[in-house]
Structure 1
């Protein structure tokens, strides 16, 4: 009897699995059901379609049902919803959404790739016109159409989707307000990192950002269109369009009703081969939890790149091969106008919450040789476990090449490397691409010095509290007099590098060095400590970080 694979869901994991299963098993019957009219599209490209960098939404579609039938002999049924899974009978119940007809289909293997859905809060006014989420192509088309008639918009949520939409909306000359219930936007990053992006958006892009406040209700006009947003803090904001960018939730109801085990994160539980608790039922993509390879704990991190890899793994195992999906490090990148924000592994706050004893390094550095005309600054925050020296994560932001540095760290996390191991990586060098020692290696060297206790440091937050309690410490600013005059820490001293050793030698108290981005003061503190000076520390991230807290 011919084997029959049924796939539920037709975006990243579903279509990737279908194509890979066909390559692995040319004779298998493959059927895919989806309740959408679109399959195999790039959801990550939708903000750029809304911005009008991509003119036609069809450019976002990678493969059509016709392609799959003609080239792969895979039957794709759009607008067909699987309403029940019957594991003991090896059948699914399907409803044709256009005709209402219901029927059963039998499978030998089943893949659940039902993805996720946008979270919509149950609040007053949420059903008004001109309120959108961004989850599929229809959403993107609707948003782009209404932008032509809109002057004021409010984006609820300061995560990846909300931030990517800022540039798209501003390209249409929309007056923008962003609201986030957290103390910060981009809350998967540490506050000392995300605050730089928030400042950039407010000061350079003229975007109004409200944090520590949440959506209370949406107020409409007499025609049923949204006209105002009311926050829990009592603010009223005029709006002709509202985007709910409040994250997503896994579509697990179909699986749960069938007795398929749900994991501790609220997504479907699978093993490394993407099998559920039913050996012939697999699951992949946004509906599935996985392992954080840094911590070994279960996580739910819905990303398109992960969904594709899960779909591939499932297909190999479904067709009789053997493949394991080991998990994720949580690598991500987001474009925010001409800023890049990228992260892998743990942030400092995540490491702290998980009970790690850790060390951090922060520095700002040019992404290319400083004399190159297109060299731009990036800021790196790297973290390692104190006892073992194992790298735990990194965050890199800036107008330069941030993501390629994070990709290197992601590879190091996968290899379970220590900081010492990492410093020996042979990275490429040419002036148009990096300084002779790449900034990510400089960050690692700084981190290693702190792990070996060759040099001491203090975070901007710690310094702020320290200044309230210990007036005896000397804060020494080693920047130029003009930089010092423009902004400096209260009661700090501006001392040139030539006079520094003499002044420190005369002082009988702790000295805390600060520079613009942390790098120069680190090197000076290291040099002075090696010469035998005691009680020398430097400020992590320098003035750039201190003035943003």
Structure 2
């Protein structure tokens, strides 16, 4: 008798699981069920459709060669039967049956299975606020959402995006490119909370503001107002006029089907699975946004809904559902986003998350061009490396700037996955030619700085710590070793200017009885100044990580 595999949910994870199961066991009967009308589409591409970067919405539902991924495609090409506009409402795992409800016909039916794969995905978080039912309030999840947003993104109109996470910022860019006046509201104190640390987020926030977007952080929405259609967003910082409101405050896993069937729900609120993506009930697997996974740095369960993870998990679940032995070990929390002319990404743990997890961390802020500085297309990026001070193991990397951050994030993701140390990363044989990278790649430079810090050769202090010292009135000298011309353009209030080229000749003018913090544009010269002062007998010297380029506070000009 042929094995019967039923997959609930026909987007990234479910479509991948069904297709892979059929490839592994061509004799199996695979049925893919989804409550929606559209299947196997790339929701992550919706902002790019709205902005006309992607011209046709069908491109989000097509293969790389332009074939529409619909029911006919899955039946004829993949050998998978697809049932749409039908919801799985009950899983009877004792009798291996799923009860289905088809709203169009108002009928109930049942389907038997030998193995069941739950790929029920996630749903946008809808805040329970007065006025949330008003027309003109939309999420960014479905093809229907994409079509609506495209219609509403009219130049000159006003949009308010609730949530400054990945999808929120992508939508901010899309609407602004359409000519809308855009405000983004974030409940927490920075953009990309949980992705970037605050000083890195500030660099991105400044760039977003430079494109005419109003950014309101630490701002809570209390309600929406309008006469049938949204007109205002009421917040604790005042009211925002809006013709369109986009809810992008995150997603929650769709677990009601699993919970009602008695499957274990993890501490994250998503379905608990093992490394074979088996649930707590025999012959039922889960994959994608509906299930939790393991963070490879902390070893703890996390909820990290990403299209990339969903596809990889779908493959593993599909293999195992037909008798295979595939493993999904976990993730390191890699994420990346483009907002206007800036790119931002992270992998592993942020400094905040690493400290919260109990690590004694060392950090590096390292700004530099993304390729040889003399190459015409070189653009600046800032790296923030987070490591375990005890053993030099990399814990995380963040990257922000107009240059190529993706390759540094991907190399770091690999290094973190395999528990590499700064010593090991500093010796990686990465590709070099001036159009692609500097002779010493940004990530290798950051690893070398980290090695210098861990060995005691370099002593750094973060811009955040410097600001705290200034606000506390501590008696220390902030020493700017840039050129007079650079100092004239912009400077940190209260800093003393002594250009690096004359530092050796002016040592007698500097106090040996107080702490000196040196800095320059990126703190390469700041580090050189630290070594010069150390050699001259100054003992309490540190350089400011990242220099003035990563100073997230006001500057004198």
TM class, shorter-chain normalised? Answer: over 0.9
For 1:371, the equivalent position in structure 2 comes to 374
For 1:477, the equivalent position in structure 2 comes to 480
SS of the equivalent of 1:461 reads: helix
Kept in 1: contact 2:480–2:518 (CA 8 A): yes
For 1:180, the equivalent position in structure 2 comes to 186
Kept in 1: contact 2:426–2:448 (CA 8 A): yes
Provide, for residues 376-430 of structure 1, a one-character-per-residue CA deviation record: whole Å limited to 9, x for no partner. 0000000100111110000001000011101000000111101111111100100
Kept in 1: contact 2:170–2:338 (CA 8 A): yes
Unaligned 5+ segments in structure 1 are none
For 2:4, the equivalent position in structure 1 comes to 4
Provide, for residues 262-306 of structure 1, a one-character-per-residue CA deviation record: whole Å limited to 9, x for no partner. 001000000000000112000000000000001111100000000
Residues 232-271 of structure 1 aligned to structure 2 (within 5 Å): 232-233=236-237, 235-271=238-274
Q: 1:150 to 1:282 in 2, by over 3 A?
A: farther
| Cα distance in 1 between the residues matched to 2:468 and 2:257 | 52
Q: 1:118 to 1:255 in 2, by over 3 A?
A: same
| Cα distance in 2 between the residues matched to 1:531 and 1:367 | 34
* More deviation, 505-514/93-102: 505-514
- Match of residue 231, structure 1, among 225, 232, 235: 235
- Match of residue 458, structure 2, among 455, 460, 485: 455
1:338 Cα deviation from its structure 2 partner: 1.2
Unaligned 5+ segments in structure 2 are 63-68
| Cα distance in 1 between the residues matched to 2:294 and 2:239 | 42
| Cα distance in 1 between the residues matched to 2:552 and 2:7 | 53
1:362 Cα deviation from its structure 2 partner: 0.1
For 1:116, the equivalent position in structure 2 comes to 122
| Cα distance in 2 between the residues matched to 1:304 and 1:524 | 46
1:191 aligns with 2:195: no
Kept in 1: contact 2:155–2:180 (CA 8 A): no
Q: 1:107 to 1:483 in 2, by over 3 A?
A: same
| Cα distance in 1 between the residues matched to 2:382 and 2:493 | 24
1:494 Cα deviation from its structure 2 partner: 1.0
The Cα RMSD (Å) is: 1.4
| Cα distance in 2 between the residues matched to 1:349 and 1:322 | 37
For 1:498, the equivalent position in structure 2 comes to 501
SS of the equivalent of 1:47 reads: helix
- Match of residue 410, structure 2, among 407, 410, 422: 407
1:52 Cα deviation from its structure 2 partner: 1.1
For 2:396, the equivalent position in structure 1 comes to 393
For 1:21, the equivalent position in structure 2 comes to 21
After TM superposition, the runs of 4+ consecutive aligned structure 1 residues lying more than 3 A away are 468-472, 526-533
1:78 Cα deviation from its structure 2 partner: 0.7
Aligned length: 545
Kept in 1: contact 2:225–2:234 (CA 8 A): yes
| Cα distance in 2 between the residues matched to 1:397 and 1:275 | 37
For 2:87, the equivalent position in structure 1 comes to 81
For 1:54, the equivalent position in structure 2 comes to 54
Kept in 2: contact 1:384–1:391 (CA 8 A): yes
1:468 Cα deviation from its structure 2 partner: 4.2
SS of the equivalent of 1:372 reads: coil
SS of the equivalent of 2:431 reads: coil
Provide, for residues 1-32 of structure 1, a one-character-per-residue CA deviation record: whole Å limited to 9, x for no partner. 11100000000000001111111000000001
- Match of residue 154, structure 1, among 160, 174, 185: 160
Kept in 2: contact 1:150–1:241 (CA 8 A): no
For 2:520, the equivalent position in structure 1 comes to 515
Kept in 2: contact 1:504–1:511 (CA 8 A): no
| Cα distance in 2 between the residues matched to 1:149 and 1:443 | 43
1:528 Cα deviation from its structure 2 partner: 4.6
1:531 Cα deviation from its structure 2 partner: 6.7
| Cα distance in 2 between the residues matched to 1:150 and 1:226 | 16
1:325 Cα deviation from its structure 2 partner: 0.4
SS of the equivalent of 1:374 reads: coil
| Cα distance in 2 between the residues matched to 1:446 and 1:8 | 49
| Cα distance in 1 between the residues matched to 2:507 and 2:146 | 61
1:200 aligns with 2:207: yes
Residues 248-397 of structure 1 aligned to structure 2 (within 5 Å): 248-397=251-400
1:43 Cα deviation from its structure 2 partner: 1.0
1:473 Cα deviation from its structure 2 partner: 2.2
For 1:213, the equivalent position in structure 2 comes to 219
